[in-house]
Chain A
Amino acid sequence: MGLDRRGFITFLVGGAVGTLFTPVPWKLADDVSIWSQNWPWIPKLQYGARSEAPSLCKLCPGGCGLSVHKVGKRPVTAQGNKNHPLSQGGVCPLGSSAVQLLYRPARVKGPLKKNNGRFEAISWEEAAQIVADNLKGKKIAALSGDENGSASEVLAGFLKLLGSDDFYFMPSDAQVSQRAWSLMEGKGQLGFDLENSDYVLILGADILSSWGPVVRNQKAFASRKGKFVYAGPVQTGTAATVDKWMPVYPGQEGVLALGICYYLLKMGKSASLKNFGLVRDYILSKYTPSVVEAKTGVSAAQVQKLAQDLVKASAPCVLVGSDFGQGSGAFEWASGILVNLLLGTLNQKGGLVALPENKVITSAPWRSELNQKSFLKFLDEVEQGKAVDGLLVYEANPLYALPQPEQVKTVLEKIPFKVSFSTFLDETAMACDLILPAPHFLERFDDAYTPFGVGQEIYSVAAPVIEPIFSTKSTPDFILEVANKLGVDLGFASFEEVLQAKAESLGTDLESVSAEAYTSDKWLAQNSLSLPVEILATGLETEGEGVFLAPVARNYLGNTKQALTPFEVVVVKEFELQKKDFYIQVNKNTANKLKLKQNGKVKLQGAGGECVARVNITETVMNDVIAAPLGFGHQAWDEFAKGKGDNLFKVLSVKEEKGSGLKVWNRSQVKVVRA
């Protein structure tokens, strides 16, 4: 067989082109590309009508109004409600994750009962019966992490009718401020009218990262009329943005406040206190510039400059709080209040204000009364033999978020019957006998009355935006049901009625307050304030040994109630967490002193425990201070939070404050050893 030139070319070209004329390669390529765009294991979008529903974020006490965007019946994103005074369209990263938390793997899917160390599913009827049986005629205590919701009021009222005064809130600056204010014979709840201030001096409180109603603080900062100055040990989110940052040792903000008072008094400022003379003499003699400088690390000249700037401002406001929102004492708060009194800003526009209170459950104590009580003191009493038969835990995770949680665990083991109403399987729920999950807040009615820190009376209510996904029950409704079983009458048949009554007590109704928050400009006039000087003595105590610890709370690390959320995982910075290790932050100077190396493993040892961390050297922390994040080291929850880093609460050490008897832990010191 011969093959000439022509034949050869025909053979080559024909062969190639011929294949292309069959449909096989084309159809195959087309199908393959379509398939690669429709992999069956990739979720498809479920279309539906778009809508928005107003809601309220209950992930922290900040009380942000949410706007939940829905597709059909499905909520898809949580955004800020532009019409809500506390969010004004903004939300923090926690609130922004609200919708996805509906399906957080750690959610408790139905009532559970512990049987020989293992949880078994039970029915809600069974649950109500078990709870009723265990409460009848028993000594019951309750702990709530919801410091401004009516659910706590229902719980406190219920306890009172059972003959118990043991209702507690999780510790926060809200309580301490109330305690200090009461010691000063003040009335109402303290707040800060930051929106109208032209010079805001923040001592300690990290108001733009985590403290108080953080989104509202950020909004007030964004539309500020004058300066914001922040004094704290670490360059946090607040320090990064304010007009001026002043380094001050952790827990010394009260001393700094009194240092300012010294100069104000020298300028002849006075405050309407019954014992003003005594207070003045005490401060002028004890809190001299050199003492303040030594304690705070702030030079006398700088303190004097602060005093002068405050006096020059037309509406100054001084906000004193704990760096991480808890653990401060009456000393800090009384000192902070005193600066404001000397500046004459009490109940003035832009100043420190006293807000009204409200309650509708007759048997429940006022919030200001509830805030006087400390759960840590209760734990002391239990440890010393106080008989308690049962503990109800609502929206709180004391086994994680109280200082020295291991000791807390030991004490709580003495209480034979513990119920957690947690929505999520947290550390505390794991240690309880019953878990009776509350619905996620987007699935239930809930409210927030004047979150601590805001400058006006505000009431917000949210109706559910989605049917409960799991077998959950609103805790106040469950309590009302149990009360009914026990023949105890709280005066309401459902929680919705409680909210209706509350709205009506404010001169509005449930429907309008669900659509738009109620606000008022009522400030409570004060008379006959005083300041027991013994409170002021705390600042003069000598410090213990070890390095100052500055815990840093940021909402992108979760908070005391909610562990790091799935969407926050990527927000955590490289030198906050690496795989299983979290980082402490020290500056070069401190690192050299303590002989610490970048990425080196260390053990922090506190009075009641220790935790393991790695070292990051950064100049964002002042000399001789270790900064470390709160929020890691969860042992429960789900893969997004569990086993990441260590729990800094373990190394916070609790002291009793003289004068107020409060427990404080904002001045924890630790030892650092190489691990």
Chain B
Amino acid sequence: MIDREWLPEGVERCSFGKFAVWLAIIGVVFAWGLYATYRIFANGLIETNLDNYFGFGLWITFDLAVIALGAGAFFSGFLKYIVGIEELKNIINLAVIVGFICYSGTMLILTLDIGQPLRAWFGYWHPNVHSMLTEVIFCITCYCMVLIIEYIPIILENRKLNQNKFIHNLAHNFHVFMPLFAGIGTFLSTFHQGSLGGMYGVLFGRPFAYREGFFIWPWTFFLFVASAIASGPAFTMLIATLMEKITGRKLVSYETKALMGKIAGSLLCFYLFFKFLDTWYWATDTLPRMGLTFDQMFNDVYGKWLLWAELGLCGVIPAILLVVPKFRNIPFLLYTAAILDCIGIVINRFVFTVQTIAFPVMPFDKWYSYVPNWAEWATTFEILAYGALVLSLSYRYLPVFPQEKELN
């Protein structure tokens, strides 16, 4: 293998040729997305299926979803470095990398999603302090930098790089500061996860999303934080499992995975309790005061099935499976529950993004539906391919999984 000396010590990796083929597959998807990216930058958003009714669509849903799922990074960091749950060291590197992919991917999508990408930096230069989106922009950017800082020492631990004394010392210093960054990350993340919820909660012109007074702050705010940390750890654990399936090697002990599941499950229970209260209050109090009924919020396309799927099938059921040790200790149930958990949160982000604007507020207006077109999908898959690329390289060349040696 030509890259043998770059590989981590004491682990086995596939042949470089095989790896190259794998990268080529990712490359094809990535190139497809790159082509769509080019068209969108060259011709504008007319290349997408977004319109004046659906100014937000797949991209914003994707952004919100991956930010929620990427919450595994800050929350695992918080639990390991601040709370001190040592066992999480087995998966913390992966959590950081997944978080980094999610956040950097989101920022890439965001530059596509705005009509004037060249003015993207106006968000920092001309901030409107009253806008939830400003908060989100700042926090995401800062947190993305934190994630980079957290990712760098993992890169520096590459066997070959680490032979350099300077790099070795640098990596060491990074490690010393890690609790500090974990703290900053937690602070920033809590803020922007909450602000993302606030982004919709404050839309008093959109009854589907609007929550009043106490139900915006702190309620919706913390609902979004809670839902993110209830799915992030599950997502990180799923990624680890997926990598195990692909590589055929054991990477993380089942105990660690089950622990992640337990964390996610407990938080999901916490989240659902408040989410049900929120939904109940919204349906029976907020809506009627706007002259609307719960039933009016749904139509044939954006039906109640979305709500039942989000809160029931992908809410209550995974919560039970994850908190009850008997279920959690059966791998199939653990993974199923984790998948459902993640889907539930994606549905939540989807309805807040799309159904919010699909509901015709003016009584004489009507429902329209939105279907993303190829360009939106291609760019979304471009980010997924980018994530796969970063993960593949990290797995091959970096000591991501401390348990890998002993487990295999």
Chain A interface (Cβ within 8 Å of chain B)? 1-3, 5, 8, 29, 32-33, 35-36
CB neighbours of B121 from chain A (8 A): 29
A541 to chain B minimum Cβ distance, whole angstroms, is 42
- The answer to whether A3 and B118 touch across the interface, beta carbons within 8 angstroms, is no
Within the complex, what minimum Cβ distance (angstroms) separates B13 from chain A? 31
B119:A36 contact, CB within 8 angstroms: yes
Residue of A nearest to B118 (CB): A36
A2 and B122 form a contact (CB under 8 A)? no
The residues of A that contact B176 with a CB separation of less than 8 Å are 5
A2 touches B169 (CB 8 A): yes
Inter-chain contacts of B119 with A (CB < 8 A): 33, 36
Known contacts being A29-B121, A33-B122, is A3 close to B116, with CB within 8 Å? no
Chain B CB count within 10 A is highest, among A2, A3, A32, A36, for A3
Chain B nearest CB, measured from A68 CB (Å): 32
CB neighbours of B170 from chain A (8 A)? 3, 8
Q: Nearest chain A CB to B118's CB is how many angstroms away?
A: 4
B299 within 8 A of partner (CB) = no
Q: Which residue of B lies closest to A36 (CB)?
A: B118
Contact status of A33 and B118, CB under 8 A, knowing A1-B165, A1-B166: yes
Cβ-defined contact, A32 with B118, below 8 A? yes
In the complex the two chains form, what is the Cα distance from A592 to B119 in whole Å?
55
Report the minimum CB–CB distance from B320 to chain A (whole Å): 45
A9–chain B nearest beta-carbon distance, Å? 9
A55 to chain B, nearest CB (A): 35
Residues of B contacting A33 in the complex (Cβ-Cβ under 8 angstroms)? 118-119, 122
Chain B residues positioned under 8 Å from A8 (CB to CB):
170, 173
Q: Could you mark each residue 129-152 of chain B with 1 if its beta carbon is under 8 Å from any beta carbon of chain A, else 0?
A: 000000000000000000000000
The answer to whether B165 and A36 touch across the interface, beta carbons within 8 angstroms, is no
- A5 and B173 in contact (CB under 8 A), knowing A29-B121, A33-B122? yes
* Among all A-B residue pairs, the 5 with the closest Cβ atoms: A36-B118, A3-B169, A8-B173, A32-B118, A1-B166
Q: How far is the CA of A587 from the CA of B403 in the complex (A)?
A: 73
Q: Report the minimal beta-carbon distance from A573 to chain B, rounded to whole angstroms.
A: 13
The answer to whether A3 touches B122 (Cβ under 8 A) is no
* Residues of chain B contacted by A36 (CB below 8 angstroms): 116, 118-119
Q: In whole angstroms, what is the CA distance A1 to B170 when docked? A: 11
In the bound complex, CA of A29 to CA of B166 (Å) = 34
Residues of B within 8 A of A35 (CB): 118
**Closest partner residue, chain B, to A2 (CB atom):** B169
- The interface size bin for chain B is 10 to 19
A311 to B118, CA, bound (A): 72
User: Closest Cβ of chain B: how far from A296's Cβ, in Å?
Assistant: 32
Give Cα distance in the complex from A35 to B117, angstroms: 12
Chain B hits for A3, CB < 8 A: 166, 169-170, 173
Given contacts A2-B169, A36-B118, A36-B119, 16 further A-B contacts (CB under 8 A): A1-B165, A1-B166, A3-B166, A3-B169, A3-B170, A5-B173, A5-B176, A8-B173, A29-B121, A29-B125, A32-B118, A33-B118, A33-B119, A33-B122, A35-B118, A36-B116
Interface centre among B116, B118, B119 (most CB of A within 10 A): B118
Chain B residues 81 to 97 lying within 8 A of chain A, measured CB to CB, are none
Chain A residues in 8 Å Cβ range of B118: 32-33, 35-36
A25 to chain B, nearest CB (A): 10
Min CB–CB distance A320 → chain B (angstroms) = 34
Closest CB of chain B to A5's CB: distance in Å?
7
How many angstroms from the CA of A272 to the CA of B118 in the assembled complex? Answer: 80
Query: How far apart sit A350 and B176, CA to CA, in the bound complex (Å)?
Result: 95
- Minimum distance in angstroms from B67 CB to a CB of chain A: 24
With a cutoff of 8 Å between Cβ atoms, the chain B residues found around residue A29 in the complex are 121, 125
CA distance A35 to B118 in the complex (A): 9
Closest to A12 in B: B149
Closest to B172 in A: A3
5 A-B residue contacts at CB 8 Å? A5-B173, A5-B176, A8-B170, A8-B173, A29-B125
Alpha-carbon distance A340/B176, docked complex (angstroms): 101
Residues of A close to B166: CB separation below 8 A: 1, 3
* B116 to chain A: closest residue by CB: A36
Q: Determine the chain B residues whose CB is within 8 A of the CB of A5 once the complex forms.
A: 173, 176
CA distance A32 to B121 in the complex (A): 11
Which residue of the partner chain B has the closest CB to A35?
B118
CA of A36 to CA of B170, assembled, Å: 41
* Contact partners of A32 in chain B: CB under 8 A: 118
- Bound complex: CA of A8 vs CA of B121, how far in Å? 29
Report the separation of the CA atoms of residues A619 and B121 in the bound assembly, to the nearest whole angstrom.
Answer: 52
- Whole-angstrom distance from the CB of B180 to the nearest CB of chain A? 11
Interface residues of B in 20-67 (CB under 8 A from A): none
- Measured CB to CB, the closest approach of chain A to B367, in angstroms, equals 14
Distance between A185 CB and nearest chain B CB, rounded to angstroms: 52
Nearest-neighbour CB distance to chain A for B117, whole angstroms, equals 9
Q: How distant is the Cα of A36 from the Cα of B120 in the complex, in angstroms?
A: 11
**How far is it, in angstroms, between the C-alpha of A661 and the C-alpha of B170 when the chains are bound?**
104
Residues in A whose Cβ lies below 8 Å from that of B122: 33
Complex: how many Å from CA A37 to CA B166?
Answer: 46
Distance between Cα atoms of A1 and B119 in the complex (Å): 42
Taking CB atoms and an 8 Å cut-off, the chain B residues in 153-205 that contact chain A are 165-166, 169-170, 173, 176
A355 CB to nearest chain B CB (Å): 43
B169 contact set on A, CB distance < 8 A: 2-3
Smallest CB separation, A570 vs chain B (Å) = 12
Shortest CB-to-CB span from B152 to chain A, Å, is 10
Closest-CB distance, B364 to chain A (whole angstroms): 13
Report the separation of the CA atoms of residues A1 and B116 in the bound assembly, to the nearest whole angstrom. Answer: 46
CA of A32 to CA of B120 in the docked complex: distance in angstroms?
11
Instruction: Compute how far the CA of A1 lies from the CA of B166 in the bound complex, rounded to whole angstroms.
Output: 6
A57 to chain B, nearest CB (A): 32
CA distance A36 to B173 in the complex (A): 43
CA A439 – CA B169 in complex, angstroms?
84
Query: Least Cβ distance of B214 to chain A in Å?
Result: 40
- Bound Cα distance A424, B376 (Å): 42
A8 and B173 alpha carbons, distance in the complex (Å): 7
CA distance A162 to B176 in the complex (A): 107
CA distance A36 to B121 in the complex (A): 13
A residues less than 8 Å from B116 (CB atoms): 36
Q: Chain A nearest CB: distance from B170 CB in Å?
A: 6
Least CB distance from A304 to B in Å reads 37
Bound CA span A33–B117, Å: 10
**Highest count of chain B CB atoms <10 Å: which of A1, A8, A35:** A8
- Collect the chain A residues with CB atoms within 8 Å of residue B165's CB: 1
In the complex, the chain A residue whose C-beta lies closest to that of B170 is A3
Assembled-state Cα–Cα distance A2/B164 (Å): 11
A544 to B173, CA, bound (A): 96
**Bound state CA distance, A35 and B166, in angstroms?**
43
CA distance A32 to B122 in the complex (A): 11
Q: How far is it, in angstroms, between the C-alpha of A671 and the C-alpha of B173 when the chains are bound?
A: 86
Complex Cα–Cα for A29 and B116 (A): 13
Chain A: minimal CB distance from B66 (Å): 26
B169 to chain A, nearest CB (A): 4
CB distance from B126 to the nearest CB of A (A): 10
Q: A29 CA to B169 CA in the complex, in Å?
A: 36
How far is the CB of B196 from the nearest CB of chain A, in Å? 27
- Smallest CB–CB gap between A579 and chain B, Å? 15
**B165: nearest chain-A partner, CB-CB:** A1
CA distance A2 to B168 in the complex (A): 10
Cα A370 to Cα B171 with chains together (Å): 99
**B139 → chain A closest CB, angstroms:** 18
Bound-state Cα–Cα, A486 to B128, Å: 77
B168 (CB) vs chain A CBs: closest residue? A3
Whole-angstrom distance between the Cβ of A47 and the nearest chain B Cβ: 25
Q: How far is the CB of A86 from chain B (nearest CB, A)?
A: 33
Chain B's nearest CB lies how many Å from the CB of A27? 13
Select from chain A the residue with minimum beta-carbon distance to B145: A16
For A1, the chain B residues whose CB sits under 8 A away are: 165-166
A186 vs chain B, min Cβ distance (A): 47
Q: In the complex the two chains form, what is the Cα distance from A285 to B169 in whole Å?
A: 115
Q: List the A residue with the shortest CB-CB distance to B122.
A: A33
The residue of chain A having its C-beta at the shortest distance from the C-beta of B117 within the complex is A36
**A187 → chain B closest CB, angstroms:** 51
B window 211-239: CB within 8 A of A: none
